[in-house]
Structure 1
């Protein structure tokens, strides 16, 4: 059981870290391709890659009729609604505000896990989330809370709520279905949901930018690394840990984003960053040590 927790923590940390680095790439591409079309393109690439991986693993793609509603719900809520509102919220406000509101995801996961999975609310879970949230605030900066406009904050809050809900729903998927299969079907569902919007707006998008090498590389990163690979790792990590504790590792997203901003963009980091790292590390240790 302890080994499962360690591997689960590793998968979740890697996935969230990849998403933390994704903000730099999205910032480059969104200047040429609107948010919804960008999500659609990364999902199109991801579905092709995931399907190829599934075929290489000889996955049986059949799904029982009773399990279809749950998988489709995961795709609509997590892959479509959550990601689009996150992109739109960040676009309307700022990455800093997005990081702060994202810190609420673990709290929402604890509540959803208590409601849907009947997981116990323990002081260890509450303490770990509190430490992680304070750590994120120290890393990003409390001043970021006042940045951006109200609509952007509303979109980001919806993104945090829906991602937490989706992450708990994945725990209800029978273990008969490999993470690659669930991720492929959920991503394909989101692709179908977004297709009508993309078709209606196709004339307003400057598609010729897709021929630029920089845009191609960024799209491949978003589709292959941050979607196909990271989503599979997140889903696999969720199966190895309890839902409430799993959400804690989402805080790696703002941590890595801030660290890369320092390394690549030359943004300054100070005492708050390192204090936040210590608090987040303590919260993760509590989760691994005391979680069910």
Structure 2
């Protein structure tokens, strides 16, 4: 697959994740946080199993790969989902967008420390420019609220997301990204069963009796979580952890556009300026990633 196709896939992920902000906020009025996360993961698992079986079967991981898959499942499918939905239910979408947008910076520095990826001036500049764009959008969008317990949960979610990017990058050095997505999602879903049980025992579980919220849940699970997850892990395997992480800055801008189209919220000049900075930051970082891809950043898929 060409580099251009990978870029289009990563841009597709940002569109799906940007719309997911609005959809998730709505679904949290119809479902309790842990139940929502568990139900979405379950639907995603069914999709990924079907994709894998149709794509020629599933590779069997070795012992070292199982360790990585478990860690990815815990960070990206279990803890990230729990922290994200619990946090989003307790804080504003603006706060959540800003905090999660810090993950590219965290990923870049973790990639330098753990995976020895080069922290070039282009990557650092791109990260800071894109983050400045996110700050302009959120701070001038009138969406920031006082610090709350929800912000702490979103901060934990951001940390899990940044950590999982590095783990996915390492796992896709020896496994297909499709298999990594499948195994880690199944592991995370299974591990979330006790959390869902605890939510029910504590009397905090609730769900809608109307068909529309369930239909929206299934659609978002299939596309914003399932297909986007496949494209996201594929992108990490192709362009590296730091370059892929730059795209995490775009969903807040997309969310503003979706909110305008769906909810009729106005778009401010500061939001347009912030969006331009986000695009500029991603472009700068991605252009450098392409230039360095022939010096070890690209690692092809390999079946075990």
TM-score by length of 1: 0.93
Rate the CA distance shift 1:21–1:107 in 2: closer, same or farther, 3 A.
same
**Structure 1: tracts of 5 or more residues without a match:** none
Q: How many residues were matched structurally?
A: 288
Partner of residue 90, structure 2: 92
State the shift of 1:176 in Å: 4.3
For residues 67 and 145 of structure 1, the distance between their equivalents in structure 2, rounded to whole angstroms, comes to: 42
Please give the residue correspondences for 1:254-273 in structure 2 after superposition, counting only pairs within 5 Å. Answer: 254-273=252-271
For residues 39 and 172 of structure 2, the distance between their equivalents in structure 1, rounded to whole angstroms, comes to: 29
Assess if the C-alpha contact under 8 Å between 1:92 and 1:149 holds in 2.
no
For residues 144 and 254 of structure 2, the distance between their equivalents in structure 1, rounded to whole angstroms, comes to: 22
Assess if the C-alpha contact under 8 Å between 1:100 and 1:145 holds in 2.
no
- 1:109-140 Cα offsets, whole Å, 9 max, x none, are 10111011101121111110111011111222
For residues 206 and 222 of structure 1, the distance between their equivalents in structure 2, rounded to whole angstroms, comes to: 19
Partner of residue 297, structure 2: none
Query: Helix, strand or coil: the match of 2:250?
Result: helix
Partner of residue 218, structure 1: 216
Query: Helix, strand or coil: the match of 2:229?
Result: helix
Partner of residue 281, structure 2: 283
Q: Which has the higher helix share?
A: 1
Q: Please, which moves more after superposition, 58-67 or 238-247?
A: 58-67
- 1:7-66 Cα offsets, whole Å, 9 max, x none, are 332222211221110122222221121111100000111111110110011123411122
Assess if the C-alpha contact under 8 Å between 1:94 and 1:148 holds in 2.
no
Q: Please, which moves more after superposition, 262-271 or 174-183?
A: 174-183
Please give the residue correspondences for 1:35-50 in structure 2 after superposition, counting only pairs within 5 Å. Answer: 35-50=33-48
Partner of residue 234, structure 1: 232
Residue number among 180, 186, 189 corresponding to 2:187 in the alignment: 189
For residues 96 and 214 of structure 1, the distance between their equivalents in structure 2, rounded to whole angstroms, comes to: 25
Partner of residue 175, structure 2: 177
State the shift of 1:89 in Å: 1.4
For residues 144 and 276 of structure 1, the distance between their equivalents in structure 2, rounded to whole angstroms, comes to: 14
**Structure 2: tracts of 5 or more residues without a match:** 293-304
Assess if the C-alpha contact under 8 Å between 1:100 and 1:144 holds in 2.
no
For residues 242 and 146 of structure 2, the distance between their equivalents in structure 1, rounded to whole angstroms, comes to: 29
Residue number among 233, 248, 254 corresponding to 1:250 in the alignment: 248
For residues 146 and 91 of structure 1, the distance between their equivalents in structure 2, rounded to whole angstroms, comes to: 15
For residues 55 and 240 of structure 2, the distance between their equivalents in structure 1, rounded to whole angstroms, comes to: 27
Assess if the C-alpha contact under 8 Å between 1:54 and 1:180 holds in 2.
yes
Rate the CA distance shift 1:174–1:26 in 2: closer, same or farther, 3 A.
closer
For residues 86 and 257 of structure 1, the distance between their equivalents in structure 2, rounded to whole angstroms, comes to: 16
Partner of residue 58, structure 1: 56
- 1:153-179 Cα offsets, whole Å, 9 max, x none, are 111111111101101111111444222
Q: Does 1:67 align with 2:74?
A: no
Assess if the C-alpha contact under 8 Å between 1:101 and 1:160 holds in 2.
yes
Select the structure with the greater relative contact order (CA < 8 A; seq sep ≥ 6).
1
What do you get for the CA RMSD once the two structures are aligned? 1.8
For residues 270 and 129 of structure 1, the distance between their equivalents in structure 2, rounded to whole angstroms, comes to: 23
For residues 246 and 33 of structure 1, the distance between their equivalents in structure 2, rounded to whole angstroms, comes to: 31
